[in-house]
Structure 1
Amino acid sequence: MTDTTSTVQAFGAGGDEPYARALRSDGRLRLTDPTRPGEVVTMDVGRWSAAADRVDVSLLEGADGPVIDLGCGPGRMLVAALRMGLPALGVDVSAEAVAIAQRSGGRAVQGSVFDPVPDEGRWDTALIIDGNIGIGGDPVALLSRAAQIVRTGGRVVVETNRDADADRTYTATVTDADGHASSAFPWAEVGLPALRAHAAAAGLTARQSWTDGGRHFCELVA
């Protein structure tokens, strides 16, 4: 699998590499949009590095086959899937995240979700959680890609923004607690109504949506 991060700027990469630093320290990151300086999204990397919680595990309970986590980070969902007897693969542009996932026992590859992935078109369930609907700054393109990755009738489980009205794309930067900043990268924030519209444009059908543990999800079907 080819890493295309040189052509597509990735979350938290470049500059002072704050995402890689946070992965090593279980720190927090601040996601900002220069056009909206008063609005900051705080991301707890320590939660991503911890074991999957009850809500995470529930996302896997509807899987009937192999699971692919798009933007897997340090791999908690991969480990959870394996414990449930589900084959799983993670894809992430971050070498640090992939290395952590592999050390945890997960199967992960470094690269862009927009490049070919192993067993493309055969995955039962694709996960786009932890804000990863923002990957690439184009939700329709990301969902279209997910539709190609899963099998016909496969599931795409998306975590949506807590702001139901969110539907914006922008150029973001990430900064850690020590002020280390990333290069700018394209990002998006999508609430449930907008996700349904983007999914339809990508050829996916919304089957159900729910809230659990203060997080919001939608299941799409290819």
Structure 2
Amino acid sequence: MSREFDVLYGASGVLETSDGRSRALRGERWCDEPDEADRALLDTCAGPTLDIGCGPGRLTGELAARGVVALGIDTSPLAVRLTNGRNGPALRRDVFAALPGAGDWREALLIDGNIGIGGDPAALLRRVRGLLRPGGVAWVEVEPPGAGVWIGGARVVRAGRGGAVFRWAVVGAEAIEALGLAAGFRRVRVTELFGRWFATLTSNPDDLDSVRPEADDSANPMWTMR
């Protein structure tokens, strides 16, 4: 299990993408307790909440500890075990497979770059929109402004050894609006929280102000994309 843990969540390693770029993997943060940005986001979650690509379960586990109905899903059996170890319910499941509660989730989380899952952010957001109830909210972590949309191949490299290539995508803050609207969401708001960037996608514009995370606007500028 320790070798599998190192491959998936070890602190040292990079994600190499077919455009020639390398991005540091954040294994230590994924395995740690929720940080300030995580907590600000989770404060808005009343549940039921679906954590897509839950990884080691820091978000699902925290929601469960707060008494919020939540479910983590991940294709990694280790991720499911680690999430269960945090007393967070989790299933080994692909987001495009049959899922419990489809069409009735109040919130869906795509955090830690998980908008890249499958290498097709448009299809992923359409799927997420279909998993939510009317008026449901998707929280999507995105790259800082300027990243645009990139789709291609990626692999995890650790200690000079690369894993299998898989499809991946990167979405910047300025690009999420068009993707969200095309997927059937009605309004998108992008927020910077403690140096990380999140988009709030809702099917009901009237609900957006009531679910946005609180932040110090002087340090974390916010704007609404229409």
TM-score (norm 1): 0.85
Partner Cα separation in structure 1 for residue 3 and residue 145 of structure 2: 24
Instruction: Kindly indicate whether structure 1 or structure 2 has the higher relative contact order, using CA contacts under 8 Å at least 6 residues apart.
Output: 1
Partner Cα separation in structure 1 for residue 85 and residue 47 of structure 2: 23
User: Structure 1 residue 212: deviation in Å?
Assistant: 1.1
Cα deviation, 1:41-74, whole Å, max 9, x if unaligned, reads 0012111011111210111222232111110000
Q: Does the C-alpha gap of structure 1 residues 45 and 221 become closer, same or farther in structure 2, counting only changes over 3 Å? A: same
**1:99 equivalent in structure 2:** 81
Partner Cα separation in structure 2 for residue 19 and residue 128 of structure 1: 26
Partner Cα separation in structure 2 for residue 139 and residue 207 of structure 1: 15
| Residue segments in structure 1 that go unaligned for 5+ positions in a row | 1-17
Read off the aligned partner of 2:12 and give its amino acid letter: R
Q: Percent identity?
A: 35
Partner Cα separation in structure 2 for residue 138 and residue 202 of structure 1: 12
Alignment of 1:181-220 (within 5 A): 181-220=162-201
**2:219 equivalent in structure 1:** none
Runs of 4+ displaced beyond 4 Å: none
Read off the aligned partner of 2:34 and give its amino acid letter: A
Partner Cα separation in structure 2 for residue 135 and residue 158 of structure 1: 12
Partner Cα separation in structure 2 for residue 208 and residue 34 of structure 1: 30
Alignment of 1:1-222 (within 5 A): 20-22=4-6, 26-36=10-20, 39-176=21-158, 178-222=159-203
**Contact 1:22–1:29 (CA under 8 A) maintained in structure 2:** no
**Contact 2:145–2:174 (CA under 8 A) maintained in structure 1:** no
User: Structure 1 residue 25: deviation in Å?
Assistant: 6.6
Q: Does the C-alpha gap of structure 1 residues 84 and 163 become closer, same or farther in structure 2, counting only changes over 3 Å? A: same
User: Structure 1 residue 21: deviation in Å?
Assistant: 3.5
**Contact 1:20–1:97 (CA under 8 A) maintained in structure 2:** no
User: Structure 1 residue 22: deviation in Å?
Assistant: 2.2
Read off the aligned partner of 1:124 and give its amino acid letter: R
Cα deviation, 1:94-141, whole Å, max 9, x if unaligned, reads 111111111121101012101111111111100001000000000010
Partner Cα separation in structure 2 for residue 208 and residue 194 of structure 1: 12
Partner Cα separation in structure 1 for residue 132 and residue 151 of structure 2: 25
Q: Secondary structure at the match of 1:80?
A: helix
User: Structure 1 residue 162: deviation in Å?
Assistant: 2.1
Q: Secondary structure at the match of 1:208?
A: strand
Partner Cα separation in structure 2 for residue 213 and residue 190 of structure 1: 19
User: Structure 1 residue 80: deviation in Å?
Assistant: 1.2
User: Structure 1 residue 19: deviation in Å?
Assistant: 9.0
Q: Secondary structure at the match of 1:146?
A: helix
**Contact 1:26–1:49 (CA under 8 A) maintained in structure 2:** no
Partner Cα separation in structure 1 for residue 91 and residue 193 of structure 2: 29
Structure 1 window deviating more from structure 2 (132-141 vs 21-30): it is 21-30
**Contact 2:102–2:130 (CA under 8 A) maintained in structure 1:** yes
User: Structure 1 residue 208: deviation in Å?
Assistant: 2.0
Read off the aligned partner of 1:213 and give its amino acid letter: F
**Contact 1:139–1:198 (CA under 8 A) maintained in structure 2:** yes
